[in-house]
């Protein structure tokens, strides 16, 4: 019989003795110090055994301090929207290169035959992020709202050799965003949009 089983037997026996004395002489019974000691020691031994087993398992794990990012927060939400925009632009460019049709959809509310509101997908227009200027050079921009995002001070576009390079360029931009290289620019745009929204809200309330 293992030590743990012995301790469990002692604990159960002590509990049974206490219960028996309580039934026989409830008005006179008071747990003795030995009763309490037996129960206390066995419980402590069992709990310590479990704690030691737990710690031995935890020692094999790489423990760390971490905080989960909240996708619903404005910073993470804005980055996710920009990445979704880039993924869509990449798919659009790849479809144009392959000569296939690219279709994007959005959710809208419609009435079904029974007059109930339902959510359905409908086609939506997608504006290309690349363009050719008057000199014939091709560029790609990240447009979020009415203004293009600046990659560096005064630089709001990436020059592209031809259409075939657009998906490659977009892939590089996605990697840069995931690496945090465009965080200052993204945060600046986010703060500017937030300030503009607050300003419009105050004017509407006035």
SS3 (DSSP) at 128: coil
Count CA atoms within 13 Å of residue 56 on its CB side: 6
Range of the domain at 35: 3-58
Q: With respect to residue 65, please indicate whether it lies within any of the assigned structural domains.
A: no
Count of domains forming the chain: 2
Q: Which residues, 6 or more positions from 18, have their beta carbon under 8 angstroms from its beta carbon?
A: 31, 35, 39
Q: Are residues 154 and 112 in the same domain?
A: yes
Q: Are residues 86 and 148 in the same domain?
A: yes
Q: Are residues 93 and 170 in the same domain?
A: yes
Q: With respect to residue 67, please indicate whether it lies within any of the assigned structural domains.
A: no
Write out the DSSP string of 76-109. Answer: HHHHHHHHHHHHHHHHHHHHHHHT----EEEEEE
User: What are 56's two structure tokens?
Assistant: 């031995």
User: What are 15's two structure tokens?
Assistant: 């509990």
Q: With respect to residue 51, please indicate whether it lies within any of the assigned structural domains.
A: yes
Q: Are residues 17 and 119 in the same domain?
A: no
Specify the pLDDT at position 138.
Answer: 97
Q: With respect to residue 89, please indicate whether it lies within any of the assigned structural domains.
A: yes
Beta strands in 137-183 (DSSP E): 138-140, 143-144, 147-148, 158-160
Q: Are residues 172 and 124 in the same domain?
A: yes
Measured distance CA(71)–CA(81) in Å, rounded: 11
Q: Are residues 12 and 81 in the same domain?
A: no
Q: pTM of the full predicted structure?
A: 0.58
Q: Are residues 52 and 88 in the same domain?
A: no
Q: With respect to residue 108, please indicate whether it lies within any of the assigned structural domains.
A: yes
Q: Are residues 32 and 80 in the same domain?
A: no
Specify the pLDDT at position 59.
Answer: 83
Going residue by residue through the chain (206 aa), what tens digit of pLDDT does each one get? Answer: 555 555 565 556 655 655 554 555 544 445 555 455 444 555 554 455 555 555 678 888 888 888 776 554 557 788 899 999 999 999 999 999 999 999 999 999 999 999 999 999 999 999 999 999 999 999 999 987 778 999 999 999 999 999 999 999 999 999 999 999 999 999 888 887 777 766 666 666 66
Q: Are residues 150 and 179 in the same domain?
A: yes
Q: Are residues 137 and 109 in the same domain?
A: yes
């Amino acid at each position: 019989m293992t030590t743990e089983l012995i301790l469990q037997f002692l604990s159960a026996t002590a509990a049974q003795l206490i219960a028996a004395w309580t039934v026989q002489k409830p008005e006179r019974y008071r747990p003795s110090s030995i009763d309490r000691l037996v129960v206390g020691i066995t419980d402590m031994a069992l709990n310590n055994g479990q704690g030691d087993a737990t710690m031995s398992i935890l020692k094999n794990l790489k423990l760390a301090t971490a905080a989960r990012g909240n996708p619903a927060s404005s910073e993470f939400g804005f980055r996710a929207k920009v990445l979704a925009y880039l993924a869509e632009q990449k798919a659009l460019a790849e479809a144009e290169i392959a000569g296939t049709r690219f279709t994007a959809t959005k959710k809208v509310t419609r009435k079904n035959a029974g007059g109930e509101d339902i959510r359905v997908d409908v086609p939506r227009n997608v504006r290309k992020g690349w363009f050719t200027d008057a000199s014939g050079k091709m560029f790609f921009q990240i447009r979020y709202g009415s203004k293009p995002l600046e990659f560096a001070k005064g630089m709001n576009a990436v020059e592209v050799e031809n259409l075939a390079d657009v998906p490659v360029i977009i892939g590089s931009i996605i990697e840069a965003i995931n690496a945090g290289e465009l965080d200052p620019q993204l945060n600046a745009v986010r703060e500017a949009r937030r300030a503009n929204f607050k300003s419009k809200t105050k004017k509407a309330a006035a």
